Amino acid sequence: MDNMHQKLINTFQMGLKVAIMIGTAITLISCASTDEIGRLQWEINELKKDVKNIRKQSPTTGQTTALGKNIDELQNTQKSTAKTVSDLYIQNQDLTSELQVLTGRLEEDRYYTEKNKTEFLERINALEAKLAELDKEKKQLQQRVTKLESAPPPVLKSEKKIEKSPASVKDTQDRPAAQKSKESATKEASSSAKDVYMSAYEAYKNNRNREAREKFQSVLQDFPENQYSDNARFWIGESYYREENYEDAILAYEELFRNNPKSDKVPGAMLKQGLAFYALKDKKTGKIILEKLIQKYPDTEQAQLAQKKIRKPTVPKKNN
């Protein structure tokens, strides 16, 4: 734009010089003819018109300054736009790199999720198979118990003696003697059950679990439903629990619930049965049993222990 302006100015100056030269020439050749003078005057007028037109087309100083500012602003805008585009390109590259990293992590997480899901399903299937096996063993044990209950009780020696006694004992005169004999036989049986039970309990205290179980079973088989039956069933379950044989312990406790539902050993057996299910990773069943214990025997020590197991209270912070 400055070059154009300079050209216009130069043209204007040349026009003025030409006009001055023409005027000088006219003065010098004042003796020329009238036609020549007219022609020169016409040319001067034409030059004036051209100069006038040039002046109209030439921008003023203010316009030139405004145009210069506009050009500077356009250049600055172009530079700013170029910088913005460059920054956006760099950000796009950074985002692309981050996206690739996140995509890789997502694929890795997906792989481990599928792997853990497969392992979890395998554990579930194994546990279901184990529970099915336990259920089968439980049914077999129930069948054995049913057979034992339906079988006639063993005849004690004292009872055999009574059966072999003469028929005359039925007479009115001999009835007191027969009654005394029967009471004596009952006491003898109770004493024998106690001896076997205490021997079994002594073996349990000395960690002879197998021997203890056999003797507790003798209490149940040889002296059906005596005053030590519930204790015998409870300690059988405890001996299995001590050996971490949780499946058999659960079944033994179940026998106590079924045959001696009012025993004072029931709360302890329910607690241990629930914990046995926890040990077998069956938290759902274990929790149900412990909740039942809390509901049925809320004031017992076993219920308090069950409460702690279910709720898992937080440990208070130590003061500094």
CB 256 within 8 A of CB 282: no
Residue 90 makes CB contacts below 8 A (sequence gap 6+) with: none
| Helices 61-150, 246-259: inter-axial angle, 10-degree rounding | 60
At residue 6, does pLDDT exceed 70?
no
Residue 254 makes CB contacts below 8 A (sequence gap 6+) with: 138, 273
pLDDT at 160: 39
Regarding predicted confidence, which is higher, 278 or 153?
A: 278
| Over residues 281-297, mean pLDDT | 95
Cα(211)–Cα(34) distance, integer angstroms: 161
pLDDT at 316: 46
Taking the alpha carbons at both ends of the chain, their separation in whole angstroms is: 82
pLDDT at 285: 95
Q: Which two tokens stand for residue 77?
A: 């805008």
Which of 279, 129, 44, 96 minimizes the C-alpha distance to 36?
Answer: 44
Mean pLDDT for the chain overall: 77
Cα(297)–Cα(305) distance, integer angstroms: 12
Q: Which amino acid is at 35?
A: D
Burial readout 10-43 (b: 16 or more C-beta within 10 A, e: otherwise): eebeebeeeeeeeeeeeeeeeeeeeeeeeebeee
In which band, very low, low, confident or very high, does the pLDDT at 115 lie, cut at 50, 70 and 90? confident
pLDDT digits (tens, 9 = 90+) for 64-94: 677 667 767 777 876 787 788 788 889 888 8
CB 265 within 8 A of CB 231: yes
pLDDT digits (tens, 9 = 90+) for 138-147: 777 777 767 6
pLDDT digits (tens, 9 = 90+) for 159-170: 333 344 444 434
pLDDT at 161: 39
| Over residues 234-257, mean pLDDT | 96
CB 212 within 8 A of CB 239: yes
User: Which fold would CATH assign to domain 194-315?
Assistant: 1.25.40
Cα(40)–Cα(23) distance, integer angstroms: 9
Regarding predicted confidence, which is higher, 58 or 134?
A: 134
In which band, very low, low, confident or very high, does the pLDDT at 171 lie, cut at 50, 70 and 90? very low
Cα(174)–Cα(171) distance, integer angstroms: 5
pLDDT at 109: 83
pLDDT digits (tens, 9 = 90+) for 173-210: 444 544 544 444 444 555 688 999 999 999 999 999 99
Phi, psi of 301 (to 5 degrees): -65, -35
Angle (CA) 103-104-105 rounded to 5° is: 90
At residue 105, does pLDDT exceed 50?
yes
Exposed (0-12), middle (13-18) or buried (19+): which is 247, by Cβ within 10 Å? middle
